Structure 1
């Protein structure tokens, strides 16, 4: 890969001479492992250095490499079904060896097979007992891991800081090729009951990937099949030696093999009910000790979300370490899929684990909320470092992919290369971007036809400074509008945020409760002569600073100064329904409001420190986030137009339930004091006709209920496809039909002071829920389609929209 060094020649020379002192001299022992009988490469064969914790595994081509200091070693190569081979090596230079393993035919005594006796059941029962014994022996452990990830597509890809971009269009039928590579070296630590932490010591990736994507380590993604805690795609699955395995899987003893002079049972398994999500494939268990030493398994179709994946294969091996405790020594994940025939893709993950220290006495205070930390110099490790650690040798395809990608990335990309007619934003270069064609035009009844242009800046190198400048002009209100917003991040992990916003533009009324995108209102206005939004003019600025005070607590303060003015309908243009009229735009309270704001958030989730940012992660666990803010306005102290204060408190939770089901509860409480201007009141999130959004009131119209005192709750239970599986309905149980149930409730009130201030602004009598309002409904969808059909009923406060049918989709 192309590297630019900014060092003086003298420093380079000094580094060259000092490299031998920084790293002891290490030699490479490289070779291949193949069958002595057929000559076929033995993919993923084990290679160990006797009397040490050092080892590796061959790649898919049977090629291995050990990095060792000068000395005499005994190297043992093994593969199930073959006789292990031990080789003595006097290592004083780089060496290449070829190892041929001879197949072993296990001679078994003649046995009588009794009818209705499944010999595999006894073996699995013993393996479960052995697993439980192993669990009792382990208190803590640490290990080193090297991980290599391969992204495969039919076309070359580009990436952002945390995303992968791939052009789609016509049917994708080409062959997969390697289009991205990730490599990292890490160290993992575990302490009972469930403390875990991992550090990335070094990482590198192909030129089309940013370092922030490279956080997939062996410890994070590995599924240890010695545990009962196996998860794929957010769904808990049973291991073939889990506590409930005998009640969930069918087992069949296929063969008896040998390795290291001991018998090994090869057992095939699959779910008893093929509509249950789980695994199928082969596991290998030793005779007498009943240790699981290898598995080669696949995800079944019931566990395949949406049927997008044509292959999900897991390959894992285990070897004994201290006290004969078997630990994972590698983990291979092979994934292939096709998204609606438009995107063929593949993903490979290859990890090798070694240098286990078991029960060394890791202290509990070593663990904190950081579950993965990228060390500061991880991206600075040079070839000297990588030449001295155990890795998986690159195949010819991988080496060619590195060269091809680096060559492509070295070609400067022009604006024309990045441009798309169907984008909301187009990149100019690594730091700058601008509006895309889909955002150039907008329409609403206040501005009429509008043209928009925005420029965005995001510092790709330091990832601290970002800003954007939005310009627009309405041809009917004849007003030029603009908005400048900037943000700068402080701290090692950019946990302190400062922002400045200066504006003179048209704002959406009650935007905080608006769940729709900007294109939706343009389309409804142009084609339906209907705009569900209301607007007002606002001019001013705001300043904010927020940051982490403790790992679970974030605090912030802010100041805002805005002059708000009423907006009116200036255009009746519509392509259809021209006889209709747009509704009167909701008037607001014309005033200059200056406020001070104090906000806070408590978040107990652990986080990843990826080298730049501290990112919260749920790890598939239940989570609750508390947040709130206090807004203060005072005529004397702040020279504001009104005296008032607003308190807001929020609870957002995600709770795991049985199997892959979960439920979310969002609560919002608002309380105000004195007179609140209309534009700062709270609107219950409603919906436009025949459309719905999660955690909105489906039977209420958009901004139908506004108030300054609110207690609202949204509840949603996601059964996914478990409900129909439990019912065992023949036609539906394997169709991956998704079911969700939603329930919403609210109490609202308009204080006397607020009502008197705004009484001439209400276009109709305000709706208040002095007694709780309730609605309930359900949604049905299919995993492959990004929408669901929703049916919702009011339970009280009957009137209009007592029953509502809607389509819920992110596209609106």
Structure 2
């Protein structure tokens, strides 16, 4: 991703427009903080609740002279405001003599029986599918969305940092958050106007982007798409709300009574509708839960207003705070439709309140609802080009008409401020440095050098290996791209190289031609499903450290030429012609095979395979989201969509010197599963069969793993070529509980660790004809008794590392079988 959220963090580590601001802490007479207390400006409906530590912040554009503090079981306290801004207030609430029993209920775990709040909650469950647009056959509406990023916790020391020399003008637009009370600086805004159409009978929905306007960095479609996926659409009536790849339990969930305390606090008219006010807060720490309150109508049991504030102790990395507000309006006196959705998150490397961070805000407004206007099924299936020129170049008067919420003074200034900022040389340098760290490429005059993270490697054949490469890059929407590398091994004293090119001929059908050549050292058999990626290279070939001797490497000379097309969204057809030669790269490893003619051994042993091959591949990735329209598109939701592959390969004999004729069928299916509050399960199934007689280098070795890294879709306790097959079926399962178990254990819960368990199994056979071809030093053995292994792991160590303990299930009598091993992996995740 050329532009990523990390780029915005290069600025991390007032003017006031509101009329009334207050902040402070609420305690009881013993000095203990009062969590979830109400803070409301007198004679208004503007208020908030204190957080888990009793702290609060509230602001309004209006002038108020008094504020009320209340909590069930305590006397309401009124404080007169003598000035517009009053910070560091210390509020002490006294227990009400007639309500001491209520204090026990509210501050501890509320009862699940005889609790009027839970009785109301059950009414919501019964009617939740009968509210909103789901009550109609068809629906359509206009949607305006504003995405914004702001630097927060701006203080004088931060402003005086030398990093901002020459850029001091950016601090002229600082403001204060009404949610957290922190000073912030808007630095990025994107506006989008869309029309949405849906059909509940066909169970489909289509959103057509009509206008897009942004400030900030050029060619930032990837950043915008990434943010939108981060804040993916959600329905508060669902049992679980997915943010940052985590499943938070909704306060309206059917399982909510197991993780939340509920209190019926008030009832009143909200826009002429009588509603009940229910406060909720977590029963336990460290779980993916919220605190807040909601107003629910007393007849339709539909939500009128709701706010959600993620628990401070929730096991989420890099996110310090999450706050959500939703408002609903009434149609025809009974149907509640969402009109406004506000989502704010506070990103930071540290969770300390004093640390600099980044606000990510999304405001979505809904208008002009219409119902029961049917459209042809073809309307929903037709693709609309989202990158039309006019969509991104609407005039100002268009936005004056379509913008459903006016920009404030700060937001208007961002467009001008960033245009100026991009002309500052120091900012350009910081931007380029951060872009290099994020993408792995360093750009000079439309050419990217990299990836910088693969410069050094090591294996038994090459010894220490140095690799330098690069690619053309004029922008993320380039219609063509050239890429290449050169490498040198100090042990084998050989030069290797790779060169590839691809060209997008038609943007709508994604018709692309590609080709290239690579001469390199490779660990073949590192995956079951074959790859013809001419520049591909796996970790097994260049890992600096390995378990035992990793000398089973091959020299490969691979040339490819082919084309691909995408007739339907996320469905790709690819045809590839390839020619490869393979031979051993070390003296201790052999791929020798017996030369056969008319079914008889000629007496010759051959050490090199020359093989042309044609491959037809079908790829289907439902749910995959991409950005850009060039020859290479950025995947936005990596790891969060299903993948299906079906491939047919045909090996040509006596064509271009081809040695073997064979056919191969392969299929691959991978899918992530969100298991509600139990975490996420990753599953993969692979099957394949080769028809015809082929030697070792064209068979399917079961992918072992002799590195110290955890590599998904490999068998950690197997050595390379320990099992060989021509027919196979494998299953990979990995479940991440997300800390659900550790969060119940005292002391350990504070470390925010996450539990991971895995199971891997494979079945395979090999024909006697293929065994008869073997003249290598590898003894053919197939996992006919189903080889299996399992693992347990501890993730989120220092928020970036995972440690896995792997156990071999069977075949313990194999020579030098490894029954136990430890592997690890680094990764940045929420």
Cα offset, 1:425, TM superposition? 4.2
Partner of 1:524: 545
3-state DSSP class of the match of 2:366? strand
Shift in alpha-carbon separation, 1:477–1:424, aligned structure 2, 3 A: farther
Shift in alpha-carbon separation, 1:274–1:195, aligned structure 2, 3 A: farther
Q: Does residue 477 of structure 1 match 2:492? A: yes
Distance 2:638 2:543 in 1: 39
Correspondence list, 1:36-435, <5 A:
120-121=117-118, 124=121, 131=128, 133-134=130-131, 137-153=135-151, 177-192=185-200, 194-208=203-217, 210-215=220-225, 221-228=232-239, 230-243=241-254, 245=256, 249-256=260-267, 258-260=269-271, 264-274=275-285, 276-286=287-297, 291-301=302-312, 304-306=314-316, 308-322=318-332, 324-340=334-350, 344-361=357-374, 365-368=378-381, 377-411=390-424, 418=432, 425-429=440-444, 431-435=446-450
Partner of 1:785: 799
Higher mean C-alpha deviation, range 633-642 or range 346-355: 633-642
Q: Does residue 743 of structure 1 match 2:759? A: yes
Distance 1:519 1:40 in 2: 68
Q: Does residue 632 of structure 1 match 2:646? A: no
Higher mean C-alpha deviation, range 243-252 or range 638-647: 243-252
Shift in alpha-carbon separation, 1:566–1:115, aligned structure 2, 3 A: closer
- Could you tell me which of 760, 763, 766 is aligned with 2:780? 766
Partner of 2:482: 467
Q: Is the 8 A contact 1:233 1:305 kept in 2?
A: no
3-state DSSP class of the match of 1:594? strand
Partner of 2:30: none
Q: Is the 8 A contact 2:526 2:538 kept in 1?
A: no
Unaligned runs of 5+ in 2: 1-16, 22-39, 49-57, 63-67, 69-97, 103-113, 153-157, 165-181, 593-606
Q: Is the 8 A contact 2:611 2:653 kept in 1?
A: no
3-state DSSP class of the match of 1:502? strand
Cα offset, 1:714, TM superposition? 2.0
Distance 1:457 1:691 in 2: 31
Partner of 2:662: 644
Q: Is the 8 A contact 1:234 1:620 kept in 2?
A: no
Shift in alpha-carbon separation, 1:544–1:257, aligned structure 2, 3 A: same
Partner of 2:723: 705
- Could you tell me which of 681, 696, 699 is aligned with 1:663? 681
3-state DSSP class of the match of 2:414? helix
Distance 1:237 1:620 in 2: 19
Cα offset, 1:236, TM superposition? 4.1
Distance 1:400 1:131 in 2: 42
Cα offset, 1:631, TM superposition? 2.3
Higher mean C-alpha deviation, range 772-781 or range 440-449: 440-449
Shift in alpha-carbon separation, 1:376–1:777, aligned structure 2, 3 A: same
Distance 1:44 1:611 in 2: 45
Partner of 1:19: none
Shift in alpha-carbon separation, 1:751–1:789, aligned structure 2, 3 A: same
Q: Is the 8 A contact 1:311 1:337 kept in 2?
A: yes
3-state DSSP class of the match of 1:701? coil
Q: Does residue 794 of structure 1 match 2:808? A: yes
Correspondence list, 1:589-738, <5 A:
589-605=607-623, 625-688=643-706, 690-723=708-741, 728-730=744-746, 736-738=752-754
3-state DSSP class of the match of 1:775? strand
Distance 2:123 2:762 in 1: 56
Distance 2:622 2:762 in 1: 27
Q: Is the 8 A contact 1:540 1:562 kept in 2?
A: yes
Give the TM-score normalised by structure 2: 0.71
Partner of 2:178: none
Cα offset, 1:742, TM superposition? 2.0
Q: Is the 8 A contact 2:527 2:702 kept in 1?
A: no
Shift in alpha-carbon separation, 1:184–1:591, aligned structure 2, 3 A: same
Shift in alpha-carbon separation, 1:452–1:765, aligned structure 2, 3 A: same
3-state DSSP class of the match of 2:697? helix
Q: Is the 8 A contact 2:733 2:760 kept in 1?
A: yes
Distance 2:624 2:707 in 1: 40
Distance 2:271 2:437 in 1: 61
Cα offset, 1:434, TM superposition? 0.9
Distance 1:477 1:248 in 2: 61
Cα offset, 1:677, TM superposition? 3.9
Shift in alpha-carbon separation, 1:616–1:453, aligned structure 2, 3 A: closer
Shift in alpha-carbon separation, 1:533–1:401, aligned structure 2, 3 A: farther
Q: Is the 8 A contact 2:621 2:644 kept in 1?
A: yes
Q: Deviations over 1:160-218 (max 9, x none)?
A: xxxxxxxxxxxxxx975333222111122233264222122111222315134334669
Q: Is the 8 A contact 2:460 2:551 kept in 1?
A: no
Q: Deviations over 1:558-586 (max 9, x none)?
A: 111233344346xxxxxxxxxxxxxx355
Unaligned runs of 5+ in 1: 1-30, 46-58, 64-80, 82-111, 158-173, 570-583
Q: Deviations over 1:241-282 (max 9, x none)?
A: 445555654333434555555655443212344565322112
Cα offset, 1:506, TM superposition? 3.5
Shift in alpha-carbon separation, 1:228–1:436, aligned structure 2, 3 A: closer
Q: Deviations over 1:367-426 (max 9, x none)?
A: 349799565632132323222212433333333433332222245788897368989944
Higher mean C-alpha deviation, range 700-709 or range 554-563: 700-709
Q: Is the 8 A contact 2:282 2:291 kept in 1?
A: yes
Q: How many residues align?
A: 682
Distance 1:291 1:378 in 2: 36
Q: Is the 8 A contact 1:787 1:807 kept in 2?
A: no
Distance 2:207 2:121 in 1: 32
Cα offset, 1:353, TM superposition? 1.3
3-state DSSP class of the match of 1:542? strand
Give the TM-score normalised by structure 1: 0.72
